[in-house]
A and B are shown apart, each in its own frame.
Chain A
Amino acid sequence: MIALLLILIPLISGLVTFFTKSERDAKSWSLFASILVLMVAFAGVSGYFDSQLFFDTAWVPSLGARFSIGLDGMGKMLCLLNAIAFSVVFASAYQNHYKKPAEFYALMLLMQTGLMGVFLSTDALLFYFFWELALIPAYFLCSSWGGEKRIAVTFKFFIYTFIGSLLMLVGILYVYFKTPGHSFALESFYQAKLSISEENFAFWLFFIAFAIKMPIFPFHTWQPDAYEQAPTSVTMILSGVMVKMGLFAVIRWLFPVFPHAALNYSHVIIILCVTGMLYASFIAIRQDDIKRLIAYSSIAHIGLMCAAFFTSEQVGMQGVMIQMFNHGINVIGLWIVADLIENQLGTRKLSELGGLATKAPTLAILLVIMALANIALPLTNSFVGEFMMFNGLFNYNVWVAAVAGISIILAAVYTLNMIQKVLYGITSLATDDAGDITTGPKIMMIVLVIVVIVLGVYPQPMLQLTNDTVQTALNKFHL
């Protein structure tokens, strides 16, 4: 029931939002719906409704596809992240004005539906369905409300991910005909009888789709442009939640289905990830646009998560789990700050900013905390995750850990450089008459900061929540 509600609430409210007349209605209705989803997600995580987490009914009987959804530990965590992300985004966008507000908010809610579906599906065909459904609203959102080059950039993003998902569809079909009794259920996929060479082949069909979504070097070229051109509210979702789809899919649909191939190719993939981390970090240092900087830093972080998972070390995988959540929170916080700066000052170029610390002290404090969380300083939530992931990488191979470790230093370089250029120095033309942030965004940012610090000091509940998923993946290896 919980699972069904998580899909139905955003779906229905999204469809209703299409028909709202005024901007105020659309905004308050979607905010209300997202808070409702958040409450349901909390109920799911709380553990009081554990008997209600699954829903299953016939869908296309002749194909053996069922509408079956459910929540495991990782699913709970990501659904919660998804719910938090949308509530925060709607709240932070409350003062923004979008043309055609009804369509904007409706598409946002439909995107949430798609994302929820991806995290909830336990049927491969249904998973593919939602995987694509999350993409379509994103396409329309970015193309209609984005920046100047939005049409071409979004189209590139769309084609990239669409090619990936079509290959995944072939992979799904391929595995489907190897499952006992031809079924799309997750359980039968785990039992599919594939020879080593078949696994190796099907592994890549899936992995390319997920690698494009995450994105992993060299499939990342769509990402910085798309993040830059998309409206900031959408960018928050893209980087906070949507890239987690790729990681999530690797953990649920790739690793346990093709354990041998995953071990086979783990070296290749870890090397790709580490290369991407360094590459993205170096590029991030040279960026002048805050949005592009965060985009590249996001590539580096995701690369680390993917690499740590492919080490198949328990501690590293646990780290990935909590880092998925934490990275989502942190990156959304950073985007909100970027949005606040852009909305107030009309620019997000580092070279045109400066001296904001004296003009907007609260904003400065919040930005610093978020930035420090981004470079995983102790006491912030990312520290725990990154520590565990590096631990895993270290156990896997010292040299890989050492090379990947360089990216931590580089992260400090570009993040602190950003702080310096935005907050300190002399005020520029743009920041001369800047004021501090208003109460609404302030409260929201403070909530995020509290989450950052609490999870940094006490990550245990997160670890417990996702323990079962890690165990499932590991059990497949030790068979």
Chain B
Amino acid sequence: MNAIILSASLGVLMMFCSFLVKNKNTFRHIASVGLLVLLIANIADTYGYTMFSINTYGMLSFNRFGMLFNSIAIASTLIYVLLTGREIEKTGSYVAEYFTLIFFVLCGIALLSSYSNLLTLFLGIEIMSIPLYILTGSDKRNMKSNEAALKYFLMGAFSTGLMLMGIALTYGGTGTFNLEAAPRTFLYIYKGVASFLEILGLLFLLVSMAFKVSAAPFHFWTPDVYDGAPSVFTSFMATVVKAAGFIAFIKLCAVRMHETGGAVDWNMIFAILIVSTLLVGNITAVFQQSVKRMLAYSSIAQAGFMLLALISLNDIAYEGILLYSAAYSLATIGIFAVLVKMKDYTFEGYNGLSKTQPALAAANTIFLLSLSGIPLTAGFFAKYYMLAAVVKTGSYLWLVIVAVLFAAVSVYYYFRLIQSMYFKEGTPETEEITPSFKYGIIALAAVIIILGIFPSLITYWLYF
């Protein structure tokens, strides 16, 4: 509860700052402090120190899993603001508003991690998405940014429509908006068979959620939007926001789809989604010339891996999705932080970076190794948990083998960037790189390695 209310009020506070505080450079410091407060409040909430006791009439339910995800999301955002705050300032002239929108997105995320009613799911998705449409178009003199924002908005509106339709149909089928404890007698022909309306509604919901996490074949908006949006905001969208989509999705699956599992083989639908997502993401990423676009497709490919949790849905999968969110978000935030410092976004633009900026190149290498799932980085254990969860179910072993083969494909495009930085000659042009940025990015790389050796540093908090 703390996270929802505080993030919304901090957003409002930032809005007031935009005309109360004259010095533009202070905004990001205020935002950082705000995020820190938010993080502490959320952790306090996890251990029962809630500041607000509000009766939500079963619309929200808080558990350790959602709280821990909130902490991961807020911490990632804090790191993101610390590393790329300067770049956010450079995007346009409404600096405080950008931070405001980021706080609102966090509010949506906090709703998504705790919804227990389809209406709060809808609210969360919308509160999270609408600020993103604005952030995408924040570079308003750039045609590509405008195009991306419009595309994102139209596609997003369409998926919202589907989602509402789905919610309405499931309501028709079950007679309740509640996620759990749907009265299974209402409109049921006989026990064990879900009604047609509910199944159709769930299918609609599945499509709209697949759209939000950019699973193929609902991914078409992703490359254009990620490419067109200002790089700093792409970083945010591709990491924290995407992970939040998964948290919402996994909850929906665990309850509603699990209950109707007798009527529809959801796992097979997920398997098809996973294979097509891995295929589209990995194969298309291989052919990209721009690092930013490659990262867009890589985010689709990584989504394919995260979707594996929907099939397994066991304790390993829950631990795994948290670890994956953290590992993937941190690594991608790091890569984007380096990316926004580059003048040329193509692979050639990175040629020879290890000579001019050895620290940046080394940290970037660690991020890329993490994304490809090499041991000693957080990414390895993230992938490991996902695979282990599916193997534990005892079926779908073929899916695991397909997934690891695509993980091997992903090495191709991640290592291409390493090759550019280390083994090719060139003089890459970068923006001015401050020592504090350098130390920040090295610290982030260190965190990824520590998580890669002791993954229980995150999963531990799920139980204590």
Contact = CB atoms under 8 A, between A and B. Distances in A.
A161 to B, nearest CB: 10
A476 B408 CA distance: 34
B429 to A, nearest CB: 23
Interface in A369-417: none
A140 interface: yes
List the 8 closest A-B pairs by CB distance, nearest first: A166-B404, A173-B391, A163-B408, A132-B375, A129-B375, A143-B423, A151-B423, A173-B388
Interface of B: 319, 369, 374-376, 380-381, 384, 387-388, 391-392, 394, 397, 400-401, 404-405, 407-408, 411-412, 415, 419, 422-424, 454-456, 459-460
B311 to A, nearest CB: 15
B401 A167 contact: yes
Contacts of A167: 401, 404
B405 A166 contact: yes
Interface string A285-322: 00000000000000000000000000000000000000
A60 B401 CA distance: 24
Given A62-B456, A166-B408, 18 more contacts: A60-B381, A60-B455, A62-B460, A63-B388, A128-B375, A133-B375, A143-B422, A144-B423, A159-B408, A162-B411, A163-B408, A167-B401, A167-B404, A169-B387, A170-B397, A173-B388, A174-B391, A176-B391
A342 to B, nearest CB: 22
Contacts of B415: 155, 158
Q: Which of B375, B415, B460 has the most CB of A within 10 A?
A: B375
A177 B391 contact: yes
B411 A159 contact: yes
B456 A170 contact: no
A140 B422 contact: yes
7 contacts: A132-B374, A132-B380, A143-B419, A143-B423, A144-B423, A174-B397, A177-B394
A162 B372 CA distance: 11
A461 interface: no
A150 B422 CA distance: 13
Interface in A156-187: 158-159, 162-163, 166-167, 169-170, 173-174, 176-177
A132 B384 CA distance: 14
B229 to A, nearest CB: 32
Contacts of A159: 408, 411-412
Contacts of A162: 408, 411
Interface in A115-171: 128-129, 132-133, 136, 140, 143-144, 150-151, 155, 158-159, 162-163, 166-167, 169-170
Nearest to B459: A62
Contact of B422 (A144, A158, A176, A177): A144
Given A133-B376, A151-B423, A170-B387, A60 B454 contact: yes
Contacts of A155: 415, 419
Given A140-B422, A143-B419, A62 B387 contact: no
Contacts of A144: 422-423
Contacts of A129: 375-376
A447 B384 CA distance: 45
